[in-house]
Amino acid sequence: MAPWTEESRAARVTSEDGPGTSGVKFHKDNHADVVLGMNELRGPGPFFLSVFVAVLLLPPGSRADTPAPGGVAVLQGRDGRSTLRVGMNLQSDLRLHPTDEGWDSTFLVRRARLNLTGTLASFADVRLIADVGQFNTPLFQDAWLELRAAPWLRLRAGRLKVPFGYEWLETSSVFLDFVEQSLLYTLVLPRYDQGLALHGELADQRVEYWLGLFNEASSKARDEDRGKMLAGRLSVSPLEGLSVAVSATHALGDNLPEEARGKLATGYAFLTSPQYKVTYATGASGLYVGPADWRLGADAVSFQGPTSLKVEYARFHASTREGWLQASDVGNDARRVHLPGLRSQAVYASGTWVLTGEKRVERGVEPSSPFDPSAGRYGAGAWEVGLRYGVAQLKFDGLPGHDGPSVERIQELTAGLNWYLNTSTRWMFNASRYRFSQGQPSFDEFLMRIQWSFF
C-alpha cells in the first residue's frame, strides 16, 4: 500500500492502471492474454474461495461500501447502482543515445491505453485496460473482476499484477517519478499473470495484505504446465506519509522459462558483449530466466511535504532451475547455453523535490498555478527534480565449456526533471548512465516524454 494519509483515508480515487475502483492500488504493463485457467487452480485455490464465500454471506451492513467512482460515466444502470466509466492515457517518447557515429534517436508511443472500469451493484468491480500503442505489447493489461465482501476481504480474479514490490504493484505508469522503471523491474520483479488474489485493508487502512495464486505463465499464451506460484505482500503505514512492506513469491511445481531479463526497460540488451560467447564470436541476444524458487523483497516509502523518498530491494533465487542464453544468429535449441543456479538481486533509492512547493503525493503533483488556456489560466505549472541510483547483480554457476564471467554487475544513475503543466499533462526529461562490471562500455540515454491522462 502507499503511505497512509488523511486524503487516502477519506477517499480513494481511480487511476489509469493504478488503484481499482475498489480503491486498492493494483496496476500496470506486460505479457499474456486473458486466459484465466481457473479450472486448473488446485491446492490453496478452493480455500480462498470458501473463505470469501463465507464472508460474502455476511449481513449487508457489514460489507464493504461502494467506492467513489472515478473517470467519466458513459453507461449507468436503471437503478443507478451499476456504472461503466472510461479513462485514457497517452505517453509519447523521444529516446536519444550517443554513438561513435553521432546520435541514435527514435520517437515512439510508449503507451496508448483505454481504461474501462465498472461497478456492479454494491459488491463487485471490473476493469479492462487495452493498450493500443505498440504492436508487440499484449492488447489487454488489466482484465479482472473483483468481489467486495468487506473492506478487509476482497477477491480479485483474472489477469492482474502479481502483488510484489512497491514500484510494480503500487505505482501506476501514469505516476512514475521517472520515464522508465529501475533495474529492480528489469531483473527481479514479476509481471502480469492470470490467477486470483485475496486482499484487504485493516486498522483504518494502515495495514494492507495480498495473498494470491497464479499460473506463473506471464510470457506464455496459455498455462502449459501444472506449476503455480504463490505470492504475498504485507504493507504497514505506521505514520502519515510513511509505509514499509515485505513481499514474497514461491514457485509450486515445475514451470517453463518465462520472459527475457537481459535488457534494460528501453530495450538495450546488456548481455551482447563478446565475453558472453555462445558460438564463435556470436554474442547472446537475450537472457531467459526460469521461474524463481523464491523471490523476496522489502521497500520503504515516504511522502513529506514537497519531497518523496523511496528505497526498495528484491532478490531472485532459482537454485533448482535453469535459465539460458539465446544465441543472436539463430533461434534453435542448439544455440542455447543453460545457466544453472541463476540468481539476481537489485536495489534502488530515489528522491524527488517539488521546486515550486506543492505537496508531493503518490499520484504526483497538483499545480497551484496550472497552465490551462481553456480555463484562462496561464501559470507556470509545477516543477520537480528527481534522482535515482540503482545497483543490480546477475549471477549464475558459470558457462561450462565457454568463455565468460559468471557475475555481471550493473549500476544506474538517472536524473530527472518533471513539468506538471496541469493535472492532466506532464512533460518529463531524463538523463541516465548505466555502467557494467565486465568491460562493456557505459550506456547513456536521454529520454523525453509528453504525457496526457484522463481518468
Q: What is the pLDDT of residue 147?
A: 95
The answer to whether residue 443 scores a pLDDT higher than 80 is yes
Residue 102 has a CB neighbour count (10 Å cut-off) of: 7
Q: Give Cβ neighbours of residue 54 (< 8 Å, ≥ 6 apart).
A: none
The pLDDT tens digits of the residues spanning 147-188 come to 999 999 999 999 999 999 999 988 888 999 999 999 888 888
Tell me which of 27 and 265 has the higher pLDDT. Answer: 265
C-alpha neighbours within 13 Å on the C-beta side of residue 94? 9
Distance CA 223, CA 89 (A): 30
Strands, E, within 162-265: which ranges? 192-202, 207-214, 228-239, 242-252
Distance CA 279, CA 51 (A): 54
**8-state DSSP, 68:** P
Place of cell 494519509: 5
* High-pLDDT (> 70) share of the chain, %: 66
Residue 79 has a CB neighbour count (10 Å cut-off) of: 7
Percentages (nearest 5) of helix, strand, coil residues in the chain: 10, 50, 40
Instruction: Show the CA angle centred on residue 219, arms to residues 333 and 259, nearest 5°.
Output: 60
Grid coordinates belonging to 169: 504493484
Q: What is the pLDDT of residue 368?
A: 95
Grid coordinates belonging to 420: 506538471
Grid coordinates belonging to 228: 503455480
The pLDDT tens digits of the residues spanning 27-46 come to 333 333 333 343 444 455 55
Tell me which of 23 and 179 has the higher pLDDT. Answer: 179
The pLDDT tens digits of the residues spanning 300-356 come to 999 999 999 999 999 987 765 555 555 444 444 445 555 666 778 999 999 999 999
The pLDDT tens digits of the residues spanning 77-91 come to 777 788 889 999 999
The answer to whether residue 19 scores a pLDDT higher than 60 is no
H or E stretch at 39: none
The answer to whether residue 286 scores a pLDDT higher than 60 is no
Alpha-carbon dihedral 263, 187, 244, 432, rounded to 10 degrees: -30
The answer to whether residue 290 scores a pLDDT higher than 50 is yes
Q: pLDDT category, 71, cuts 50, 70, 90?
A: low
Grid coordinates belonging to 406: 559468471
The answer to whether residue 8 scores a pLDDT higher than 60 is no
The pLDDT tens digits of the residues spanning 344-398 come to 899 999 999 999 999 999 989 999 999 988 888 999 999 999 999 999 987 776 5
Q: Contact 144/158 with Cβ under 8 angstroms?
A: yes
Residue 397 CB-density burial (10 A; 0-12 exposed, 13-18 middle, 19+ buried):
middle
Please state, rounded to an integer, the average pLDDT across all residues of the chain. 77
Structural domains in the chain, CATH included, are: 6-454 (2.40.160.10)
Grid coordinates belonging to 77: 444502470
**8-state DSSP, 131:** E
Grid coordinates belonging to 149: 465482501
Distance CA 416, CA 431 (A): 7
Residue 97 CB-density burial (10 A; 0-12 exposed, 13-18 middle, 19+ buried):
middle
